[in-house]
Chains A and B, each alone.
Chain A
Amino acid sequence: MTITVILRKKEFKFEETKDLTVRKVFKKLDILPETYLCVREGELITEQELLRDGDVIRFVPVISGG
């Protein structure tokens, strides 16, 4: 099983899903937690949230151009 992360029209798959949190995914993708929110099944989830096998999560950018 895998966890899928959608980030700006790109998809990232994670096979090692044990103890995977949103925070750890941010780290793996080398992005600052200040710059994205994480949405799972239409709900906002926090950095501490533990991800589950088969999860599809979306990172929503928060920086706007001004």
Chain B
Amino acid sequence: MRQHKLALCKHHFLEWVCDQTERNINKYKMFTKGDRVLVAVSGGKDSLALWDALNKLGYTTGGVYINLGISGDDQYSLKSQSLAEKFASDHNLVLHIVNIKSDYGKTIPEFSETNKRGKSKPCSVCGLLKRHTMNEIGSRKGYDVLVTGHNLDDEVSVLFNNVLGWQVDFLRRQSPLIPAKEGLIPKAKPFCRFYERETAAYAILANIEYIEDECPFSEGSTTIQNKELLNHLEHQRAGTKLAFYLKFLRAKKELFADLEDDKYTEALFSCPTCGQPTPKQGNCAFCRMVTRS
């Protein structure tokens, strides 16, 4: 039961989050003070809180923001970009900005329009674009690791979904640290053990201005439905979410005896267009999407 942490005074709470963040980084061997760390910034509470904590801890960081061209009622992309930029300039940090429309000719909603073959919802198109672009920026700008603001609730929601569908391959890969492979920089989640409530509290207490609105496409998403369900369980039994996640990480070694096996970490092919790894010969999913008109 950790909810009492929120009753700590402001100063001690911020310190506690920073201490725990550093512990996680070391525990899962994510990166060291000598590494250049690229923070994936959305303008939301988690990524800005993470950037703030890493900066306070003395890590060398830069940010990457991807403008997805999503407007909605509240100009989602415009607003989140300006908050990311404000944070970077207030803290004197470098922010790399990628604009999907100007770089690839289409916004996320437009890509998802032309990609409509049943399963290409905006969110899957968006995930593909983000993964590719962040890795590309990270490698090109010489970063050693990419970090994302995923919190415990995000991880638990994904875990729950993967268990419901017994997605064995996804379960095998779900981890606080995805090691590097040919063409891919490592990816780490230093906030994976913090409740979403705690990262929000950190952002508020550290006076970080972040976008409170959600991406309009996430409304009614599986992630949000799962989170609500899991919060009901947590409400009945405090600690349920944290235990589900930590026990999974421990059980993984037994579930997947061949976890370290190279056949799961080696890239099979590299994309002839962009050079990033792909499971099949020929252009990767990203390049196929971008060249399709």
Chain A contacts to B: CB under 8 angstroms: 32-35, 37, 39, 44, 46, 60-66
- Also in contact, A64 and B7, with CB within 8 A (given A33-B235, A37-B204, A39-B204): no
Interface residues on B, range: 20 to 34
Q: How far is the CA of A63 from the CA of B230 in the complex (A)?
A: 12
Per DSSP, chain B at the interface is: helix
- Considering the complex, give the chain B residue whose CB is closest to the CB of A46: B7
The winner among A34, A37, A64 for most chain B CB atoms within 10 A is A64
Decide: B235 and A64 in contact? CB cutoff 8 A.
no
Which residues of chain A come closer than 8 Å to B212, judged between CB atoms? 60-61
> B90-118 CB contact bits vs A (8 Å, 1 = yes)?
00000000000000000000000000000
Which residues of chain B come closer than 8 Å to A63, judged between CB atoms? 153, 196, 224, 227-228, 231
Decide: B234 and A64 in contact? CB cutoff 8 A.
no
- Considering the complex, give the chain A residue whose CB is closest to the CB of B7: A46
Shortest beta-carbon distance, A53 to chain B, in Å?
24
> B5-33 CB contact bits vs A (8 Å, 1 = yes)?
01100100000000000000000000000
Q: Does B221 contact A (CB under 8 A)?
A: yes
Decide: A62 and B223 in contact? CB cutoff 8 A.
no
**Could you say which of A37, A39, A64 contacts B46, with CB atoms under 8 Å apart?**
A64
- Considering the complex, give the chain A residue whose CB is closest to the CB of B151: A64
- Also in contact, A64 and B231, with CB within 8 A (given A37-B204, A44-B204): no
Shortest beta-carbon distance, A52 to chain B, in Å?
19
- Also in contact, A32 and B231, with CB within 8 A (given A37-B204, A44-B204, A60-B212): yes
Q: How far is the CA of A55 from the CA of B234 in the complex (A)?
A: 29
Find residues 15-61 in chain B having any chain A CB closer than 8 Å to their own CB: 44-46
> B174-196 CB contact bits vs A (8 Å, 1 = yes)?
00000000000000000000001
Q: How far is the CA of A65 from the CA of B215 in the complex (A)?
A: 7
Shortest beta-carbon distance, A4 to chain B, in Å?
18
Q: Does B173 contact A (CB under 8 A)?
A: no
Shortest beta-carbon distance, A66 to chain B, in Å?
4
Decide: A66 and B221 in contact? CB cutoff 8 A.
yes
Shortest beta-carbon distance, B33 to chain A, in Å?
29
Q: Known pairs A34-B235, A60-B204, A66-B224; list 5 more (Cβ under 8 Å).
A: A32-B231, A39-B204, A62-B196, A62-B200, A63-B224
Decide: B6 and A44 in contact? CB cutoff 8 A.
yes
Q: How far is the CA of A61 from the CA of B218 in the complex (A)?
A: 14
Shortest beta-carbon distance, B270 to chain A, in Å?
29
Which residues of chain A come closer than 8 Å to B217, judged between CB atoms? 65
Decide: A64 and B204 in contact? CB cutoff 8 A.
no
- Also in contact, A64 and B45, with CB within 8 A (given A39-B204, A44-B205): yes
- Also in contact, A66 and B154, with CB within 8 A (given A32-B232, A32-B235): yes
Decide: A44 and B201 in contact? CB cutoff 8 A.
yes
Decide: A66 and B218 in contact? CB cutoff 8 A.
yes
- Also in contact, A65 and B205, with CB within 8 A (given A46-B7, A60-B200, A60-B212): no
Decide: B221 and A34 in contact? CB cutoff 8 A.
no
